[in-house]
């Protein structure tokens, strides 16, 4: 049987490592891994038997059109947190233009749940108040939906991503949680009334492979576990470290807004909006909803995984 070619950008990030974990040495697939450099490697990608390493980035993606032209699955994870039109908008369209549409089976582009509001509807404030990164993701999504590729591209909207260990790079949130013990001595007693979803990077990788290998009609997926209030998240985190709070005091949003105005604190428009929007709740897709086995669906198991230990 002819092998299927999977082109992956962002393979050396946390999520990329977990995705290559699942696909590496699989005789069904050839992996084309677009990699900028080796500095973030936690293991040697060059030793992955079914991988071809392509050194470059989205700035020069047209150099790899020959590989894209024989790609069956395109998984675009790479991004620029500072906001870069060449990475978030121009590069992805160059990749799409390089595909052979007669053979390509799935295209998956990673966006961010931050551009969505309740019921997974586009959040207008993301376009007007968002950071450069969020505005570019909003624009990219709209441009694709208006293009000839609108029925080809599956958009993945991650919520808060946690992950990392000795063999996988840590996400910013994962690294922060590991360093949160001292902060919790005081923070465990206070909370702001807001909520969110979170998910481990390994579970996202499992979902991506599932969507790649199984027929589906949806084109937009918000990936995350069940919604949780910050109050409960802090309590669970504190309990994990043996610091369970006896009480928790709510800090009203109005009080925080008053302090910001009183002391003329600099808060960017998106941060100020998010503080007052507060409840980022979505219709989510998870390992549970797709009946994919997982052991990383709660904070305790995730913390154990981050620490590389078992309690």
Q: Which domains, from first to last, does the chain contain? A: 4-164+197-227+282-303 (3.40.50.720), 172-194+229-277 (no CATH)
Radius of gyration of the chain (CA): 20
Cα–Cα distances in Å, from 311 out to 68, 162, 232, 241? Answer: 45, 19, 21, 11
Q: Cα separation of 295 and 108, whole Å?
A: 25
Average pLDDT per block of 10 residues along the chain, 311 residues long? 93 95 96 89 91 94 97 94 76 97 97 96 96 94 97 98 95 96 94 96 98 93 97 97 94 93 92 93 97 97 86 41
Q: Following CA atoms 104, 106, 110, 113 in sequence, which dihedral angle do they give, to the nearest 10 degrees?
A: 150
Cβ(162)–Cβ(198) below 8 Å: yes
**What tokens does 198 get?**
């979170």
Q: Strand 195-196 to strand 228-229: parallel, antiparallel, or no bridges (unpaired)? A: antiparallel
User: What pLDDT does 179 receive?
Assistant: 95
User: What pLDDT does 310 receive?
Assistant: 40
User: What pLDDT does 83 receive?
Assistant: 55
Give exposure, 212-240, as e/b (b: 16+ Cβ within 10 Å).
beeeeeeebbbbbbebbeebebbbebbeb
Cβ(280)–Cβ(157) below 8 Å: no
Element (H, E) at 29: strand 29-35
User: What pLDDT does 311 receive?
Assistant: 41
Angle at the Cα of 44 (from 40 to 47), degrees rounded to 5? Answer: 150
User: What pLDDT does 84 receive?
Assistant: 66
Give exposure, 105-116, as e/b (b: 16+ Cβ within 10 Å).
ebbbbbbbbbbb
pTM of the predicted structure, to 2 decimals? 0.95
Residue 193: HSE in the Cβ half-sphere, 13 Å Cα cutoff = 9
User: What pLDDT does 86 receive?
Assistant: 73
């Amino acid at each position: 049987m002819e092998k299927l070619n999977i082109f992956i950008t962002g393979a050396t990030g946390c999520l990329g490592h977990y995705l290559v974990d699942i696909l590496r040495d699989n005789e069904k697939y050839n992996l084309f891994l677009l990699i900028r450099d080796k500095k973030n490697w936690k293991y040697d990608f060059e030793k992955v038997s079914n991988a071809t390493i392509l050194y470059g980035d989205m700035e020069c993606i047209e150099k790899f059109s020959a590989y894209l032209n024989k790609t069956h699955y395109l998984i675009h994870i790479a991004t620029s947190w500072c906001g870069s039109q060449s990475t978030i908008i121009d590069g992805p369209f160059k990749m799409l233009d390089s595909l052979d549409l007669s053979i390509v089976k799935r295209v998956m582009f990673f966006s961010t749940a931050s551009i969505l509001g309740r019921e997974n509807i586009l959040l207008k404030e993301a376009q007007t108040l968002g950071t450069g990164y969020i505005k570019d993701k909003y624009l990219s999504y709209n441009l694709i939906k208006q293009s000839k590729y609108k029925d080809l591209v599956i958009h993945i909207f991650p919520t808060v991503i946690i992950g990392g260990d000795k063999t996988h790079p840590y996400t910013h949130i994962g690294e922060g949680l590991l360093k949160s013990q001292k902060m919790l001595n005081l923070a465990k007693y206070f909370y702001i009334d807001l909520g969110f979803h979170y998910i481990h990077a390994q579970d996202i990788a499992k979902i991506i492979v599932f969507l790649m290998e199984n027929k589906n009609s949806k084109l937009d997926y918000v990936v995350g576990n069940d919604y949780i209030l910050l109050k409960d998240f802090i309590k669970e985190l504190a309990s994990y470290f043996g610091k369970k709070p006896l009480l928790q005091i709510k800090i009203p949003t109005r009080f925080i807004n008053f302090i910001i105005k009183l002391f003329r604190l600099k808060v960017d428009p998106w941060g100020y909006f998010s503080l007052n929007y507060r409840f980022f709740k979505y219709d989510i897709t998870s390992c549970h909803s797709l009946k994919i086995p997982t052991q990383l669906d709660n904070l305790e198991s995730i913390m154990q995984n981050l620490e590389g230990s078992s309690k």
